[in-house]
Amino acid sequence: DAKTTQPTSMDCAEGRAANLPCNHSTISGNEYVYWYRQIHSQGPQYIIHGLKNNETNEMASLIITEDRKSSTLILPHATLRDTAVYYCIVRGGSEKLVFGKGTKLTVNP
């Protein structure tokens, strides 16, 4: 079973920041938080991952709370092409990825 809880769906206006929350209250000390997204009829795309520090790359920022029980993925300037299902996954080391239902993000023009 997935170890995370995400809202089923969210909407965002094009050009605005999209903030996607994720709860992982049972996360262990050696487990990372991974974010993937899946655009319709494609394989999942890796976005970002982190352990306890906030992370940023060319796609997004990942903010992890100090107690590590929740995190937020931030897409700073959402575009229509960011419409997808976003998956937050907790994973330790080389463990397999277990996908939950994710959040369906719709970016509106």
Partner 1 sequence: GAVVSQHPSRVICKSGTSVKIECRSLDFQATTMFWYRQFPKQSLMLMATSNEGSKATYEQGVEKDKFLINHASLTLSTLTVTSAHPEDSSFYICSGGDAEETQYFGPGTRLLVL
Residues that bind partner 1 (CB under 8 A): 34, 36, 38, 41-46, 49, 87, 93-94, 96-102
Residue 97 Cβ vs partner 1, minimum distance, rounded to whole Å: 6
Q: Beta-strand (E) ranges in 1-109? A: 9-13, 18-23, 31-38, 45-50, 55-56, 61-64, 70-75, 84-92, 103-108
Residue 72 Cβ vs partner 1, minimum distance, rounded to whole Å: 20
Residue 32 Cβ vs partner 1, minimum distance, rounded to whole Å: 9
**Choice between 80 and 98, CB closer to partner 1:** 98
**Choice between 13 and 28, CB closer to partner 1:** 28
**Choice between 2 and 63, CB closer to partner 1:** 2
| Identity of the amino acid at 88 | C
Question: Residue-wise over 25-36: b if at least 16 C-beta within 10 A, else e?
Answer: eebeeebbbbbb
